[in-house]
Amino acid sequence: MITTALTELLRIRVPVVQGGMQWVGKPPLVAAVSNAGGLGILTALTQPNPDALRVAIRETKVATDKPFGVNITLLPSINPPDYEGYARVAVEEGVRIFETAGNNPGKLINFFKSHGCIVIHKCTTIRHAKSAERMGVDVLSIDGFECAGHPGEEDIGGLVLLARAAQELKIPYIASGGFADGRGLTSAIALGAAGVNMGTRFMCTVESPIHQRIKEKIIASTEQDTIHILRSLNNTARVFKNGVSKQVVALERRPGGAEFADLRDLVSGVRGKVVYEIGDPEYGIWSAGIAMGLIKDIPTCDVLLRRIEKEAEEIIDGMRKQIKPMAKL
């Protein structure tokens, strides 16, 4: 068993957090991850409204008696969702672990902390991590350039970003972006992290609610099969490389660039949802990280986490044997 600040704080066996993925972080997957010893995360905005989130929380509680959390991501929007409503419902339902992400999370963080909750905040830069640390979050999720979704605009890979976190941060942090196995977990711990966040790897599990053909597409893909979109709009997202995402990039690169209005229909989240429902990887934009290159099967969450735990323990033990103590002079 690998014990870290994360496992002790969250009361989980394996220092692995399931990413709060839109359209994927639903009760069956969340409960499976938590039952397997990690931390499952319900994605609040996957639910159409706070009342639907209440139902999802209750459904998850029926399926697991282990800790799980709720993700609330603050999105740039003219008509923002009812973030306060989602937060209030989750607290009312007894959720005490939250993952926050996005800009200006102070109000949400204050609300959760006032109710004695544990807050994990996702950051892509050290300066944002230090700001969240000052706000009183308990754990930081440091997202490197390798991650699916939004990696920020500074293109700093996890190797340096995590080492910088070790230099600068005073609270525990977890590593996100490119993690899929025990070797990744071991490397994150060596860089000072208390665990890892995995998204793409959990998409490709038995309990993941996405279509089987998408899971098979992930297995057939490599680390070269993602692409960045919306870079010209300073809202970079790493997604699966398909005809739609390549069309978005082509529009961004044309003379004069592109306005969001030119791209709205192509990047529609509704089309991404349909990808997962019908199993057509070309139908729309869908998030995927370069961890695809490491994924070779579709295990249950229990098999996956036990394998990661065993691999990490074996690697750590092997390193101990490799490093010979210096002979006394």
CATH number of the domain enclosing 102: 3.20.20.70
Give the HSE-up count for residue 27: Cα atoms under 13 Å, Cβ half-sphere: 15
Please indicate, yes or no, if residue 24 is contained in any of the structural domains.
yes
Q: How many separate domains does the chain show?
A: 2
Same domain, yes or no: 101 and 149: yes
Distance of alpha carbon 76 from the chain centroid: 19
pLDDT at 326 (0 to 100): 57
Same domain, yes or no: 33 and 175: yes
Written as one letter, the residue type at 97 is I
d(CA 177, CA 158): 7
238 lies in which domain range? 226-287
Same domain, yes or no: 178 and 267: no
- pTM for the full predicted model: 0.95
- pLDDT, average across residues 302-317: 97
Same domain, yes or no: 49 and 103: yes
Please indicate, yes or no, if residue 219 is contained in any of the structural domains.
no
Predicted confidence (pLDDT) per residue in 215-274, tens digit: 999 999 999 999 999 999 999 999 999 999 999 999 999 999 999 999 999 999 999 999
Same domain, yes or no: 15 and 146: yes
pLDDT at 106 (0 to 100): 95
Banded pLDDT at 77 (limits 50, 70, 90): confident
Q: pLDDT averaged over the chain? A: 96
Same domain, yes or no: 37 and 174: yes
d(CA 131, CA 23): 29
Please indicate, yes or no, if residue 292 is contained in any of the structural domains.
no
Please indicate, yes or no, if residue 329 is contained in any of the structural domains.
no
